[in-house]
Amino acid sequence: MRENRWTGTAGADAMRWRICAGIGLLVCVCTAATFGCRQDTASVPAIPVPGGGKRQPVEIEAAVRSAFRQANIKTAAVAVATEGGPIFVRTLGTRFGARGVPADDDTVFRAASLSKPVFAYLVLKLVKDRHLDLDRPLHTYLPKRLVQYPEYADLGGDRRYEAITARLVLTHRTGFPNWRWQSPDRKLHVMFDPGTKFSYSGEGYKYLQFVVEQMTGSDLQALAERLVFTPLGMARTSFAWRDEYGANSAIDRAPIEEFFGPGFLALPNAAGSLLTTASDYGRFLAAVLAGTGLPPQLRNEMLRPHVTIAADRLFGPPAATGSATGREHTPFWCLGWGGFEDVTGQARFHVGYDSPEYANYAVVYPESRVGVVVLTAGGSGPDTLCPTLVEALIGRTNTPFRWMGY
């Protein structure tokens, strides 16, 4: 069975596929015996933790090494970032297909749905430059009716799509399913009136990507290079596979392209195709914390709670929503980020989850001005390793991992 760029992505969070063995989680964690780590622990300052206080790098590194040794994981990476950039980066394990060659800080991982916050940041830069309005119906940016495009012909009898805006996409309230291929007829449908419920949707992100590409005349990769990767110094990051990644990645391409078809990894997908390193994603987290490239009002708009989520789990059926104006609301969703409140304050998070063999996690604490990214690849149990690594890096935070699917 094959999927094209409009029917799914190997990075979609709710997909529990077996094809993901060997794919990586992006948290840069290094041990002297298993990688070429370029950062000496002695040169790393004390690590700030949410809620105040600091932890010593030696303590963190020991905890990270211990967690990795106890997990059945082939490759993992972690990064801790502050407003100034990543301050602690480690990578553990081996590169894919390199017969025991240690992974290092340049090892590329498949970030899955950690793609979504990056795309949301790109969209807000377009808003800043007045190319896009968060509340204007997306179909009005197109030169012809949406249903006249083959990718969206399925929507011909249902005009509710005309209410979908960029804000509804970034807060998962479009009415679209996660992926159309999950529907009984494998067609795209609007499941509920846009704006009335929360339902996690990769299709919504694909729709916004489609509109942005049509509107700007540039594909996602070109836009991301210009607006995100180059300005933030993310030199090893891309929405599409590069040949140079072959020598140093944690990605087994064969089962992915066998399932989706040759060349699948070369197709940029806003919902889940991001390829990156822990240090690069740490640079992105630093930009989110500092508001780099965005005026203060847009940075605040990105991170403020927009809707509460009345659901027992993130990847569940459509759930009721409400307004979210204060710290008592949890969980909630922002623009491109989920949110929750724990004992240390409010956090903004995203998951990148494909199967029991593959899990990613990123979280920022705006009040404490610290962020963490964790990426894993191969083996079994990364969904349990993610919480362990987060605790190793920043301590106990009461993060609702079960609700997130870990």
- 189 vs 177: CA distance, rounded Å: 7
pLDDT of residue 341: 85
Is residue 115 left, alpha or beta, with left meaning phi > 0 and alpha meaning psi from -120 to 50?
Answer: alpha
pLDDT at site 22: 32
User: Is 296 a member of any domain?
Assistant: yes
Domain membership of residue 119 (yes or no) is yes
* Coil, helix or strand at residue 242: coil
- Residue 11 forms part of a structural domain: no
Residue 124: name the closest of 81, 167, 82 by CA: 167
Instruction: For residue 1, tell me if it sits in a domain.
Output: no
Q: Look at residue 4 and tell me if it is in a domain.
A: no
- What's at 337, amino acid-wise? W
Split into its structural domains, the chain has a count of: 1
pLDDT score, position 381: 64
pLDDT for the residue 102: 96
Count Cβ neighbours within 10 Å for each residue of 35-73 and write b for 16 or more, e otherwise.
bebebebeebeebbbbbeeebebeebbebbbebbeebeb
Residue 354 belongs to some domain of the structure: yes
- pLDDT per residue of the chain (406 residues) written in tens, 0 to 9: 333 333 344 343 333 333 333 333 333 333 333 444 445 666 788 888 888 889 899 999 999 999 998 888 899 999 999 999 999 999 999 999 888 899 999 999 999 999 999 999 999 999 999 999 999 999 999 999 999 999 999 999 899 999 999 999 999 999 999 999 888 999 999 999 999 999 999 999 999 999 999 999 999 999 999 999 999 999 999 999 999 999 999 988 888 788 777 888 899 999 999 999 999 999 999 999 999 999 999 999 999 999 998 887 888 889 888 765 544 446 899 999 999 987 788 899 999 986 656 689 999 999 999 999 999 988 766 667 888 888 889 887 778 887 887 7
The secondary element (H helix, E strand) that includes residue 214 is helix 202-216
Has residue 179 been placed in a domain?
yes
The CATH number of the domain holding residue 240 is 3.40.710.10
pTM of the entire predicted model: 0.88
140: containing domain: 18-404
Of 81, 78, 90, nearest to 36 by C-alpha is 90
Q: At what angle do helices 202-216 and 115-128 cross, to 10 degrees?
A: 40
Q: How is residue 380 written in tokens? A: 């079994």
Instruction: Supply the pLDDT for residue 386.
Output: 82
Residue 12 counted as domain residue: no
